Structure 1
Amino acid sequence: MKKSIPPPLKFLFAHPAHFIACGCGSGLSPFASGTAGTLFAWITFPLFVLLLPSAAIIFEALAVLFILGIIVCNITGRHLGVVDHGAIVWDEIVPFWTVLMFVPAGFSLSALEWQLLAFLTFRFFDIIKPFPANWFDKQVKNGLGVMMDDVVAAGYTVLVLLLAQQLWGRI
């Protein structure tokens, strides 16, 4: 689990990589910054998909944003002196946007229930870091490692969601 003191607000604007890696400021939360970053992803997801015309383009954009994440997380971690500093939440945002592609969009009760299940499941796997997330977290000390442990958490989350869909019927 990431434990660190949030940097000052001026750090956010000192370099474009900081603004992105810190989730537009959501990572500066003094409490549960990873959860704050994931909430930011949940809140901004409707805007993200609104700006892109198709699921194929959304997945392409997510791939580009993942690569951008490797770069900005590496730069920001180096500037903070901690590879996976708690203020870095881009690694939560992009994988959780990906997870949200597998649940209903919108604000109906059913859609919100699936989104909440996705949120709680993603946070669970992000915190416990099952293999190979724990390997990336401990062994790959750069932007790729920062991004990959959350990608693994997203993968486990999608598997749980697909299993839940099979058990409770298609959504």
Structure 2
Amino acid sequence: MHVTVPAKTVFSSPVHFLAFGFGSGLSPFAPGTAGTLAAIPLYLLLVQLPLWGYVAVLLLMSLAGIWICGESSRRLGVHDHGGIVWDEFAGFLLTMLAAPAGWMWIVVGFFLFRLFDIWKPWPIRLVDRDVPGGFGIMFDDILAGVYAWLVLQALAYFLVA
């Protein structure tokens, strides 16, 4: 079920503003892709942190995302509304954990994350379909991020080393 969410709703509520990826989830075309693109500047800021700091922010974003996505969904009355893209932010940032430096790797990470998030191989599809609430919204994208991270790290190992 598609429910149109007015920009006024997103920009007047901190919960929706975060859940909708600072407004990127309002994109009428491919909001998940728009949300992932919007996560790139955040990645560029976070990658400056030491690895432990990056991991700490990623964990905090993921844990907070369970509540943010669940609460936004509840308020909208729609489970996992397409415009909720905080989960894409977390999934992409997980994909990019300890990635090699450079725009090529950002682009590769972007496409790998989008591939696994859209394709939803096992068990991602099961989580997406069967796990309710904010945890379900976040967990399928975290799994997509894990798959994309594994492929990205393998590519880096064989292409950089």
Determine if the TM-score, normalized by the shorter chain, exceeds 0.5: yes
Whether 1:164 and 2:160 are equivalent positions in the alignment is no
Contact 2:62 2:138 in 1 (8 A): yes
Distance 1:8 1:122, change over 3 A: same
AA partner of residue 158 (structure 2)? L
User: How high is the TM-score relative to the length of structure 2?
Assistant: 0.93
1:166 and 1:61 mapped to 2: Cα distance? 25
Of 134, 146, 149 in structure 2, the residue corresponding to residue 155 of structure 1 is 146
The offset of 1:112, in angstroms, is: 1.2
Which residue is 1:98 aligned to? Answer: 94
Structure 1: tracts of 5 or more residues without a match = 106-110
**Amino acid across the alignment from 2:30:** A
Alpha-carbon RMSD across the aligned residues, in angstroms, is 1.5
Q: Deviation of residue 6 (structure 1)?
A: 4.0
Q: Taking every aligned residue pair, what percent have the same amino acid on both sides? A: 41
For 1:21-170, list aligned pairs within 5 A: 21-50=19-48, 53-105=49-101, 111-170=102-161
Rounded to whole Å, the distance in 2 between the matches of 1:166 and 1:62 is 23
Corresponding residue pairs, total: 161
Paired letter, 1:151: I
Equivalent AA in structure 1 for residue 74 of structure 2: R
Secondary structure of 2:84's aligned partner = coil
1:5 CA displacement:
4.6
Deviations 1:130-168 (A, max 9, x none): 112111101112100000000010110011112212322
For each residue in 1:32-70, what CA deviation from the matched residue of structure 2 results, as whole angstroms up to 9, or x when unmatched?
A: 0000000001122112344xx421022112111111100
What residue is the counterpart of 1:10 in the other structure?
Answer: 8
Looking at structure 2, the residues matched to 169 and 125 of structure 1 have their Cα atoms a distance apart, in angstroms, of 23
The question of whether the paired residues in 1 share the 8 Å contact of 2:39 and 2:93 is answered with yes
Q: CA deviation at 1:103?
A: 1.8
Q: Which runs of 4+ in 1 moved over 6 A?
A: none
**TM-score normalised over the length of structure 1:** 0.87
Residues 51-106 of structure 1 deviation map (CA, whole Å, 9 limit, x = unaligned): xx42102211211111110001001111122111011000000121122223233x
Give the whole-Å Cα distance in 1 for the aligned partners of 2:147 and 2:95: 10
